[in-house]
Chain A
């Protein structure tokens, strides 16, 4: 081997994989078919590092794989007991901070948050339930917004701006007061320009944004994560096309 290809390799859990200049660790891992758990990453959308599930150790230091550029010679630990336990704790916090009643949620079986909890072996929430009271927005005829299930991943915010060329959503407030808002004077979805075909309407990794009247098109037991692990589905790497009006 010549030195040139050697120069653009990183090591994830003892496996050497190539990367291209400008790729993040997540990009390189996905391209190589290595699963790094993630909830707020979507290929082609600007990464934010919100959910922290993709935390890996690079040369001993914890970083989010979706926002850290791959650089030559990185030694990365990903699928370790310690990291997966930390990811499980993060998942438990996401569950107890919202109102996640899987048996009554339309998204059950198609829900990456739920599948992540399965993947990490989560049996219970561990932390005290917060029972937050959050607003439901059923104003739109075809799209439902149930903030009880929102995990503030901001995928809808980014998808709307970067792919749909709109600006339907935003995160307002900080810390425990952070919440998903709709960018209209009334704050209601009905007054926004969101449409069923928008990525922002489909990208939600929980049951916070749902298309109405489709909830039970696929019966429980035949849904995505009834058939597949998130470690398989999470490797899908089709990169979305950004809206032409998007800022560079």
Chain B
């Protein structure tokens, strides 16, 4: 194969655990790199996403920057994949949806123990928080979902291998885990 598939990855409101699990493919990454090259990703430190074949998105959508990045991924990536529990239903960050944004900010920045000069941060460089944490599929169209917290290295490997071979990727029911 002469043309390598371009792959971008990002973590929105996630913990980078899915990225760590991606690296759990270990030496199989070498094999994959015969067919795939990275575009924007924490692995390359490229900051802007270019035209890609595959975009892997970890994490839910919790702030305005997440929305920008996610929309850029949707525009640039032919196949966009929601990776892990947080991308799929908001996950652990979505537990803040129980409370109003004001309550969350006050609890953390005004009422927290041991705070000096408590105030809610308002630097213009900080991305504005959304009212709730959303699954990525509620912001853009998603083509595939890889559940798990995180999805295992095997799930990543089989998924990418299917795409490289031009097959419709399927997650085996027996491998399905949400935890």
Contacts and interface: CB of A to CB of B under 8 A. Distances in A.
Interface of A: 95-96, 99-105, 108-109, 114, 117-119, 121-125, 128-129, 131, 133, 148, 220
Given A124-B142, A131-B97, 6 more contacts: A96-B89, A103-B91, A118-B177, A123-B146, A123-B171, A133-B97
Contacts of A125: 88-89, 135
Contacts, number: 74
13 contacts: A99-B94, A99-B95, A100-B89, A109-B179, A118-B173, A123-B88, A123-B144, A123-B147, A124-B145, A124-B147, A131-B97, A133-B98, A148-B98
A117 to B, nearest CB: 7
Nearest to B84: A103
Contacts of A124: 82, 88-89, 135, 137, 142, 145, 147
B102 to A, nearest CB: 14
Contacts of A103: 85, 91-92, 149, 178-179
A128 B135 CA distance: 9
Nearest to B100: A133
A123 B178 CA distance: 9
B95 A104 contact: yes
Contacts of B88: 123-125
Contacts of A119: 173
A69 to B, nearest CB: 32
B34 interface: no
B90 A102 contact: no
Nearest to A128: B138
A129 B178 contact: no
A108 B91 CA distance: 13
A103 B89 CA distance: 11
B24 to A, nearest CB: 15
B134 interface: yes
A119 B176 CA distance: 9
Interface in B165-179: 171, 173, 176-179
A122 B176 CA distance: 9
B138 A114 contact: no
B11 to A, nearest CB: 15
B71 interface: no
A99 B89 CA distance: 9
B161 interface: no
A182 to B, nearest CB: 20
A129 B149 contact: no
